[in-house]
Amino acid sequence: MIADMTGFELANLGEGFYQDPYTIYRKVRDTAPLCQQSDGSYFISRYGDVAAILKDHQSYSSDKKVDFKPKFGDGPLYEHHTTSLVFNDPPYHTRVRRLLAPFFTPRTLRALEANVAAMIDELLDQAEAAGTIDLVNDFANAIPLNLIGDMLGIPKDEREPLRNWANVILGGLEPSLTPAQLATGNAAVDAFKDYLRDLIAWKRTRLNEREETDILSALLADHDSPDGLTELELMHNCIFLLNAGHDTTTTLISNGMDLLLRFPDQMALLRAEPDRMKGAVEEMLRYESPLQIGNRRAMTEVTLHGQRLPAGTFLHIGIAAANHDERQFPAPEAFDIARKPNRHLAFGNGIHICAGNSLARMEASLAFSKLLVRFHKIEQAGPTLRPDRARFRVVSHLPVSLAA
């Protein structure tokens, strides 16, 4: 094993890390691809290692019941994160994913696309009237919030609190939490559950009137089937769908616009050749991956970089570090919308690949296509602000001025 690079500790990251983690990740890849942390866990940073671990669900577990107990105790955050789809293994993972799969098929995406396009047009009408907007709060946040709200059948006038609950609950996954953050996260889960409990009771009386794309009503209708979800499973997986769908797409659109502003030659190329949009979205996902760090636990003894790790070893999976690995991506710090191949790991790999990845790609492609067509000038009107979050690459504010 290459000797661990001293100073890289997920539980004690310096402020400069949050603005530019990639310089540090390169040093870790070069000097400590198996980087031990003070608690005995390891940070994995090279593309080949990360891709293999994400794909191997037989050797590496996504179940977090053991890991989240000391972090969350027995509170609502623990209940949520150990019941949702993402932090579970088969057979539970298989059962829930099978129930959700019909809502992310190409047929469903085609049914949703017209609504997403109309929603984006309405947001751009408002942006054109304002002239200067915060791209995060006035645009990127609204698209997935309303789309997932539609897919869960949540009334439009009841969606605004969901945004804050989602941010707080996902914030609970950061490597370290203060007591105040823990309390706020637990309160958000309780509030979300209270809301969903009332919504479920209301929907039970209207199952015959449900929309084709209403996930919550469809899952309620299947409640009594052998694979049906209990009410607790239903609530937590609806919270997960909204949190994951909202946060990933908001972050993809916000980071993507930040990248186009930082690399104006690439924005000009995309304007001149709009058929490059698919490649542009993939490069945005690679360069600023919304989920930067995942986790797995070794289920058996494994060997990485010549070192045997016993069963039970906890691994931090450096998705963002892998997506900047020069062993896989030539000139990884160049933002290149024509990059081919671009086999990034932003949505994971194997059975846990993000179920809504096609939905997020569709939303982002429509958002950028319509932005660039509507406005011949898009300029930054203030600094890009990011909170201190390591697990997710988040933009909190991105002021832009727009001219049609």
pLDDT tens for residues 361-404?
Answer: 999 999 999 999 999 999 999 999 999 999 999 999 999 999 99
Tell me what the mean pLDDT of segment 262-272 comes to.
98
Would 4 be classed as within a structural domain? no
More confident residue, 109 or 185: 185
Q: In what order do the strands lie in the sheet with 314-318?
A: 34-36, 42-44, 314-318, 293-298, 60-61
Would 246 be classed as within a structural domain? yes
Would 178 be classed as within a structural domain? yes
Q: For position 6, what pLDDT does the model report?
A: 52
Would 22 be classed as within a structural domain? yes
Instruction: Spell out the residues 6+ positions from residue 129 whose beta carbon is closer than 8 angstroms to its own.
Output: none
| 111 confidence band (pLDDT: 50, 70, 90) | confident
- Centre a 10 Å sphere on the Cβ of residue 185 and count the other Cβ atoms it contains: 24
Token pair 């993939």 in the structure block, residue: 282
Q: What share of the chain has pLDDT > 90, as a percent?
A: 74
Would 281 be classed as within a structural domain? yes
Tell me what the mean pLDDT of segment 262-270 comes to.
98
Q: Looking at residue 137, what DSSP letter applies?
A: I
Would 126 be classed as within a structural domain? yes
Mean residue pLDDT of the chain comes to 92
Q: Residue 194's domain is classified under what CATH number?
A: 1.10.630.10
Would 5 be classed as within a structural domain? no
The domain total for the chain is 1
- Contact status, residue 136 vs residue 380, Cβ threshold 8 Å: no
Would 205 be classed as within a structural domain? yes
Tell me what the mean pLDDT of segment 258-273 comes to.
98
Is the model's pLDDT at 3 over the cut of 70?
no
Q: 85-89, 108-112, 141-145, 181-185: which range is least confident on average?
A: 108-112
More confident residue, 166 or 55: 55
Tell me what the mean pLDDT of segment 105-113 comes to.
87
Tell me what the mean pLDDT of segment 89-99 comes to.
93
Domain that holds residue 36: 10-403
| 33 confidence band (pLDDT: 50, 70, 90) | very high
Q: Which amino acid is at 206?
A: R
Is the model's pLDDT at 2 over the cut of 50?
no
Q: Which amino acid is at 382?
A: G
Q: From CA 13, how far away is CA 34, in angstroms rounded?
A: 18
Q: 1-5, 25-29, 91-95, 275-279: which range is least confident on average?
A: 1-5
